[in-house]
């Protein structure tokens, strides 16, 4: 298929596809799915080989958020029966982090619900970062605390945070549909503050919230422009008790096409398969390893993931290997994104893009696939790592 040949060539040269090419990937048919995965897999292997980076989530503070992000089980008014607790003590957070590191995680992601941290919260998290780093040699620490105020990014960096996560989640045009208490530009600004402070930026999206193909392409292009080092791709976990509980509109095939599109737009950026992979990819998860070079190990913030040992077995069985701490995730010569590549984008192939075959959304709800997390941080039960 000309479209795929073009996208592979561009990916190997780290060139940005056109919006039309990205849209055409989302519009490929199920008959073409393995060709799409194979093409994006070539780009993945060029920049990341067969390595899979493992990341481990520690929810420092769970639930009771004053913001109203409609996808989130921790939002204001959420009826989801998740664990709710206030700040974990540094030693408890470090113990939780150690379980992930023992399971092979290279990065620990410290997350707290809320609009953003107070300065006292930043002190608290700084102490937690120091404790984790003292007790877990070589681990990367990413903080995810919401919108940052002046000076907070510098303080987190000084405390040893290697990275900061703040997702854009969806396109600027539809951001107001998923959240009214802050806007898209607030999120962009926080990612930029993290970058300015010298932290590695991690920023991604959530697919499956009822957005259009154009919205998905818009958010991925907006991310590419921000030039994060890592792009987590979440698939909506439709929690009962949240406004999006009925949004079951992803198929495994659609999820794979979305991951392939993200890989083509971000060829040499860490693409991380995040929340919802078990729920929406189901038995097709191993195919996604041909597209992403990073996943979360074990459980998510408020929901259960596949058992950590099953994640490790899946990686080995699919012919991939867990990335060690002695390896740098990103390719040596990764250059700033968007550097003139659009000007070189081909146009001839656009006309030859396959006819759109938009898969029928599944309106079947699979509540059995969503399980609230009851283990690990904030509980007396051992974590899943
Ligand atoms: S700010 Fe974060 S924790 Fe709060 S509702 Fe939004 S996503 Fe959830």
Q: Are 202 and 229 in contact (CB under 8 A)?
A: yes
Q: Is the CB of 74 under 6 A from ligand 1?
A: yes
Does 142 carry a binding-site annotation? yes
253 Cα to the center of ligand 1, angstroms = 28
Q: How confident is the model at residue 356 (pLDDT cuts 50, 70, 90)?
A: very low
The CATH number assigned to the domain holding 47 equals 3.20.20.70
Lowest mean pLDDT among 107-111, 128-132, 359-363: 359-363
Tell me, what's the pLDDT at 195?
97
Beta-carbon contacts of residue 13 (< 8 Å; ≥ 6 apart)? none
**Which of these, 353, 349, 293, lies nearest to 9 by C-alpha position?**
349
Beta-carbon contacts of residue 341 (< 8 Å; ≥ 6 apart)? 10, 14, 15, 16
By most ligand atoms within 8 Å of CB, the mutation choice from 66, 146, 186, 242 for ligand 1 is: 146
145 Cα to the center of ligand 1, angstroms = 9
Neighbour-count burial for 60-92, b at 16+ CB within 10 Å, e otherwise: bbbbebebbbbbbbbbeebebebbebebbebeb
Tell me, what's the pLDDT at 361?
52
129 Cα to the center of ligand 1, angstroms = 21
27 Cα to the center of ligand 1, angstroms = 31
Tell me, what's the pLDDT at 8?
98
**Which of these, 88, 302, 301, 116, lies nearest to 194 by C-alpha position?**
116
Q: Are 378 and 59 in contact (CB under 8 A)?
A: yes
Q: Rounded mean pLDDT of 151-173?
A: 97
Q: Is the CB of 166 under 6 A from ligand 1?
A: no
Q: Rounded mean pLDDT of 22-35?
A: 98
Q: Is the CB of 247 under 6 A from ligand 1?
A: no
Tell me, what's the pLDDT at 363?
54
* Domain-located, residue 376: no
The whole domain housing 163 covers 2-330+344-369
pLDDT of 350 > 90? The answer is no
Q: How confident is the model at residue 372 (pLDDT cuts 50, 70, 90)?
A: confident
Cα–Cα distance for residue pair 151/266, rounded to 1 Å: 30
* Domain-located, residue 384: no
pLDDT of 216 > 70? The answer is yes
Tell me, what's the pLDDT at 374?
85
Closest C-alpha residue for ligand 1 atom 6: 69
* Domain-located, residue 380: no
pTM reported for the whole predicted model: 0.90
**Which atom of ligand 1 is least distant from the CA of 73?**
8
Residue for token pair 């000076």: 151
Does 65 carry a binding-site annotation? yes
With a pLDDT cut of 90, the percent of the chain lying above it is 83
Q: How confident is the model at residue 362 (pLDDT cuts 50, 70, 90)?
A: low
Lowest mean pLDDT among 155-159, 165-169, 339-343: 339-343
Question: Assign residue 198 a region: left if phi > 0, alpha if psi is -120 to 50, beta otherwise?
Answer: left
Q: Is the CB of 190 under 6 A from ligand 1?
A: no
Tell me, what's the pLDDT at 378?
81
* Domain-located, residue 177: yes
Q: Rounded mean pLDDT of 89-100?
A: 94
CA distances 80 to 5, 65, 68, Å, are 45, 13, 14
Tell me, what's the pLDDT at 338?
40
Q: Is the CB of 270 under 6 A from ligand 1?
A: no
pLDDT of 359 > 70? The answer is no
* Domain-located, residue 385: no
* Domain-located, residue 339: no
349 Cα to the center of ligand 1, angstroms = 41
Q: How confident is the model at residue 344 (pLDDT cuts 50, 70, 90)?
A: very low
Does 45 carry a binding-site annotation? no
pLDDT of 101 > 80? The answer is yes
pLDDT of 63 > 70? The answer is yes
* Domain-located, residue 155: yes
The total number of structural domains that make up the chain: 1
Q: How confident is the model at residue 383 (pLDDT cuts 50, 70, 90)?
A: confident
* Domain-located, residue 144: yes
**Which of these, 38, 40, 12, 33, lies nearest to 354 by C-alpha position?**
33
Cα–Cα distance for residue pair 203/153, rounded to 1 Å: 15
- The pLDDT tens digits of the residues spanning 225-259 come to 999 999 999 999 999 999 999 999 999 999 999 99
């Amino acid at each position: 298929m000309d479209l795929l040949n073009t996208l592979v060539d561009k990916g190997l040269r780290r060139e940005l596809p056109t919006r039309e090419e990205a849209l055409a990937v989302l519009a490929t048919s199920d008959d073409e799915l393995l060709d799409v995965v194979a093409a994006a897999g070539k780009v993945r292997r060029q920049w990341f080989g067969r390595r899979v980076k493992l990341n481990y989530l520690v929810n420092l503070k769970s639930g009771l958020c004053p913001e109203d992000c409609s996808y989130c089980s921790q939002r204001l008014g959420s009826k989801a029966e998740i664990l709710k607790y206030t700040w974990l003590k540094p030693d408890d957070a470090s113990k939780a982090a150690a379980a992930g590191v023992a399971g092979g995680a290279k990065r620990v992601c410290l997350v707290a619900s809320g609009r953003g941290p107070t300065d006292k919260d930043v002190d608290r998290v700084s102490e937690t970062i120091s404790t984790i780093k003292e007790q877990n040699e070589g681990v990367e620490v990413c903080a995810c605390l919401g919108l940052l105020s002046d000076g907070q990014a510098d303080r987190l960096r000084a405390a040893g945070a290697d990275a900061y996560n703040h997702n854009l989640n969806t396109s600027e045009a539809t951001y107001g549909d998923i959240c009214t208490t802050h806007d898209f530009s607030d999120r962009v600004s926080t990612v930029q503050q993290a970058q300015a402070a010298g932290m590695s930026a991690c920023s991604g999206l959530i697919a499956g919230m009822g957005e259009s193909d154009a919205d998905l392409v818009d958010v991925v292009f907006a991310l590419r422009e921000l030039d994060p080092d890592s792009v987590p791709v979440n698939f909506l976990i439709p929690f009962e008790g949240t406004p999006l509980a009925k949004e079951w509109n992803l198929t495994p095939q659609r999820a794979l096409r979305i991951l392939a599109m993200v890989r083509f737009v971000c060829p040499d950026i860490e693409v991380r398969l995040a929340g919802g992979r078990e729920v929406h990819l189901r038995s097709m998860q191993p195919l996604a390893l041909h597209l992403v070079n990073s996943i979360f190990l074990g459980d998510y913030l408020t929901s259960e993931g596949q058992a950590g040992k099953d994640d490790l077995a899946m990686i080995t069985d699919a012919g991939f290997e867990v990335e060690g701490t002695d390896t740098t995730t990103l390719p040596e010569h990764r250059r700033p994104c968007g550097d003139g590549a659009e000007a070189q984008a081909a146009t001839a192939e656009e006309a030859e893009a396959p006819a759109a075959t938009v898969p029928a959304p599944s309106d079947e709800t699979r509540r059995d696939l969503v399980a609230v997390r009851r283990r690990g941080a904030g509980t007396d039960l051992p974590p899943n790592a």
